Chains A and B, each alone.
Chain A
């Protein structure tokens, strides 16, 4: 026995499937507002098909879907077409599929426009008209499609039901008999929850892109923490470490009575190892290391520097440290060693004595001396539309030793030491 639900106005996503799954796990979603149910074996619960249909109707009414059409039949096609074509509840007696469908219009089959026009020209209006035609004649005119449509019009199935898989939830809850304080006891309990959860993820070929830890506190409040490392993982040990490190930084202020861990599943990472490329770091270990450095990362003071497209001296941004694969270009040799600037942040305000227009003596915090050699001035300016800057740069060598880059802020007429060349 099969059933079909047809909603002329489709309810919200998944609502019809949820109703169907209350009766059987074998349900197939065909289109928005159309669901097929495999109702075999339910005779012990509902003695007759009409009882079962009544239960379906009651469940629909309980949801306020008074216009839902329900049909039960011995074949999937008969149930589906009957639900499409007849209001309310229809129970097709066994062996009466063709007769029940016969008066219904041909349009209830999923026909393309060309085929519909052809049948109209042949004078066919109902499923019964099509079902009464000889299969051989249809095959001669329409090929294999002809007998197939004839079988559908007579309510005969073509293919088995393909169940729509239920959405999987990856969550686990642990209610505690006694509240716990501190992270050490929580660590053991987290392992108990995370290990089966991660095993479930692995069985399904999934990883967790993020996890949410929802702690229920003794005073009824919730303490929620969401973790989203740079790379998905299904390693229970990694997730436990990340959660404990996060809770160290953001501890709950009451004892814990219960907790729930929810994973956000994503497809498993595929890694193609190569003989020639260097091994990539394990994303799990990298995420764990970055979590251990949370004091630095939380303040935005740890990451990979990236240069920005600007002429403003020293412009850069800090990006999340997530090294990807090495490109071929990066494998070329570096240039030779170059003097690097060791910058002062912010630049040191300086007193500079001039000889002519060139610096002759520099005095700033920790930097002081007569200028013995100099190169400059190099003028640069920009961002006049935003926070304007304009400067005159000099590279100077001091008598006491040391090469420094100094500059004059031309907008404020003040001197600064930007850094030392090392």
Chain B
């Protein structure tokens, strides 16, 4: 009886859309739900969001908005009560920027590397494996941007296959941030980002950086793309 009432209540909540993120219903496979970024054009491009159980990547040149886009996802997830892990072998994350993007910092586990290069990448890969295996985190972000390609190439060749095998049974998404293509799972997203000219306002000395437009292309689906406006923080 109690179970029937709970089911009816869950149906009612779902039909009335009382929550932005509907809670999982009994027996529902969490991997069927993608991790939406909340950015309309981008979620459309990703067919709903970053897929769970897959490695996805966001790559682009310096200032193309890779970090901003992944922080937007982390903000959405942590504000909904989920946990996000950020593995940062080069120690580049700025907590102030994360907070400005809306990330609930208490729900962000940040692993900071000490040195650049292979010495830090191997323990970082091991930590990513531990985090994915725990199943506690909706998204695990592995920030490889700024790390030389030679350091990445010195990792064992099976690294990404092993991580993909590890994640495919988990309700988490592994998102790589990189300067160029690294790897993605067979069902994962591969976003290539390119910055357009930054927007400025005012005249010197009161000139301000207002933001930058980022062109996002799903590298695996060819021509499809979206534009994301990134505002500058104060």
Contacts and interface: CB of A to CB of B under 8 A. Distances in A.
Interface in B103-146: 103-114, 123, 127, 130-131, 134-136, 145-146
A334 B76 contact: yes
Size category of the binding interface on chain B: 35 or more
Contacts of A303: 109-110
Nearest to B228: A337
Contacts of A88: none
B111 A301 contact: yes
B6 A275 contact: yes
Contacts of A374: 204, 207
B108 A337 contact: no
B72 A334 contact: yes
A343 interface: yes
B95 interface: yes
B79 A330 contact: yes
A338 B231 contact: yes
Given A281-B83, A338-B68, A323 B96 contact: no
Could you tell me the dominant secondary structure of chain B's interface residues? mixed
A278 B232 CA distance: 31
B23 A278 contact: yes
A353 interface: no
B116 to A, nearest CB: 11
Secondary structure at the A interface, as helix, strand, loop or mixed, is mixed
Contact of A338 (B62, B130, B134, B230): B230
Given A275-B9, A276-B18, A323-B83, A307 B109 contact: no
Interface in A6-25: none
Interface string A279-294: 0111001101100110
Contacts of A342: 67, 92-94, 145-146
Contacts of A276: 13, 18-19, 23
B109 A304 contact: yes
A164 B129 CA distance: 51
A339 B111 contact: no
Given A276-B18, A330-B79, A336 B13 contact: no
Given A335-B101, A339-B212, A375-B200, A285 B233 contact: no
A265 interface: no
A345 B93 CA distance: 10
A383 interface: no
Interface string B193-218: 00100101000110111011000000
A340 B71 contact: yes
Interface residues of A, number: 63
Interface string A215-238: 000000000000000000000000
Interface in A317-351: 318-319, 321, 323-324, 326, 330-345
Contacts of A288: 134
B39 interface: yes
Interface stretch (A35-43, A126-134, A395-403): A395-403
B79 A293 contact: no
B43 interface: no
A402 B146 CA distance: 13
Given A340-B98, A421-B232, A289 B127 contact: no
B165 to A, nearest CB: 19
B231 A337 contact: yes
B108 to A, nearest CB: 6
Given A337-B71, A374-B207, A330 B81 contact: yes
A34 interface: no
A97 interface: no
A323 B79 CA distance: 12
Nearest to A343: B94
6 contacts: A303-B109, A334-B75, A336-B72, A339-B63, A373-B198, A403-B209
Interface of B: 6, 9-10, 13, 18-21, 23, 38-39, 61-69, 71-72, 75-76, 78-83, 91-114, 123, 127, 130-131, 134-136, 145-146, 195, 198, 200, 204-205, 207-209, 211-212, 228-233
Given A403-B209, A422-B63, 18 more contacts: A275-B9, A278-B23, A289-B131, A302-B111, A304-B108, A305-B105, A316-B95, A330-B81, A333-B79, A337-B69, A337-B101, A338-B68, A338-B232, A339-B212, A342-B93, A403-B62, A403-B63, A422-B67
